[in-house]
Amino acid sequence: MARENGGRSWLGAAGSNVWYFFNSLKLTISVLISLAVVSILGTVIEQNKSAGHYAGVLGAKWAKVVMLLHVNNLFHSWWYTALLLALAANIVVCTFERFPPKWKSLLNHKQEKFDPRIIEKFAHNRSVSVSVDAATANARVGRVFKKMGFNVITSNDGGDHFFYAWKGALSRLGSDLTHVSLLLILAGSIIGSYAGYKDYRFINVGDTIEVPNAGFKLRLDNFWIDQYDTGQVKQYNSLVTVIDGGKEALTKQIWVNEPLAYKGIRFYQSDYGMAWDKIDTAYIAPVKRKTGDTGAPVPVKWGTEEKLPGTRYSVKVTGYLSDFAYDEKTNSVGSLTPEPNNPAVRIEIYNAGRLISAPWIFLKYPGIFPAIPADQDVDIAFTNYKPTLYSGLSVNKDPGTNIVWAGAIVMGVGFIFAFFMYHRRVWVHVKETGGRAEVRIGGMINKNTLLFEKELCEIAEYVEKEGKKT
């Protein structure tokens, strides 16, 4: 039995120490400072990069430290989450420590009789003597409290009348609502951090992509740029369609700060540019070999076959590279950069429906390689092109967003309670002496003493001037 009691005492002491630890203001300050410091660290050090990247920027030694401590993915690291959970536990314990007695005091307003001498001890008090009996003065006090919206409890003791009135008691819950809002925001942040993701995709007009972890697709129907009269970019827009279950579920125009939301996933317009591996239209012209004269360019849409006037040939555009390069080791071609430094198109050349050639031809170096066998009297030149614009979309899934918004709303309500509502309590003693009623008024307020002084003056003036407005 002694061991059981000893064990319980030990457990009780340990529990008390844990409770005291999480109820500590020092813990609150320490966690907040730590979160601020590591958040700055996460901003300074680029996130989600490779070990090689950090080795190149910070050196091999510090790169090992970054990877070991998960600073490369700081906001998803176990120790950052531990800090958030410690802050949440601190908020919960502090709230439970202070809320029950506060709630009990809000519910218990029973102040039937009190010692009238306490009124003189209040920093805010008034005394009024009126030439009416106590019952009349008592009625006036009741009317002014009702007019001012106070809750009132009254009592009588012989010829004495007692009032206890209060207003704005809910303002005391402002800090508790703020604590609850912080818990909601922390919960939403943690849920969004682990259950959500951020991705980036670029889509060419007409293409469709699979949305990560979503079960539906997104198609880019159109992309265009709005410009000012000066030619500067005003806005860039994408017309996108959600394809869910093989059917078009939603079509919407999006632009910066106007995303598309579908099934908890948001698509933001974040970038645009010219595709490096596809164009909309190539302008192909016939060239006479003997004279070098170039005929009128023919617009050839991507993937379509067009006849070259004045020749027996037709062409189809099947490939494009913005910065053409040839790798001798692998015998392959590719683009060095996304920039149009050396644009080239691959075309298929047909004669009477028969494919005779599929060369690469260059915009900046026309005729460097013959597109048509040299024994023919005509060749082909690539004179211009219309690029295919791509739309860069940020794809964000954050299931904690609604929880964070709920926390923000609760925090707003808490701020209103804390800063724009005032808890005031008033005690009034009415006593008849020598045919006159003596009314003593006093009370306290948690903030805004100027407002409280004004209200006490209003009560006193109402009683003294028989309820007439001044």
User: Concatenated DSSP letters for 114-176?
Assistant: --TTHHHHSSEEEEEEESS-HHHHHHHHHHHHHHTT-EEEEEEETTEEEEEEEE-GGGGGHHH
What DSSP letter does each residue of 61-83 carry, written as one string? HHHHHHHHTTGGGGGGSHHHHHH
Going along the chain from its start, the domains and CATH numbers come out as 2-103 (no CATH), 109-168+422-464 (3.30.310.80), 194-275+392-402 (no CATH), 276-387 (no CATH)
Mean pLDDT, the chain, whole residue set: 88
pLDDT in tens, 387-426: 988 899 999 998 988 999 999 999 999 999 988 899 999 9
The whole-number pLDDT of residue 466 equals 65
pLDDT in tens, 66-125: 888 888 888 888 888 889 889 999 988 888 888 877 777 776 766 657 888 899 999 999
- Distance (Å, rounded) from C-alpha 325 to C-alpha 24? 65
The whole-number pLDDT of residue 340 equals 93
pLDDT range class, residue 44, cuts 50, 70, 90: confident
The pTM is what?
0.63
> Which of 37-41, 132-136, 341-345, 361-365 comes out lowest in average pLDDT?
37-41
- Distance (Å, rounded) from C-alpha 59 to C-alpha 365? 44
The whole-number pLDDT of residue 467 equals 47
The whole-number pLDDT of residue 470 equals 41
Residue among 177, 139, 126 at smallest CA distance from 413: 177
pLDDT in tens, 205-231: 888 999 988 899 999 999 998 989 888
- Look at 392 and 7; give whichever has higher pLDDT: 392
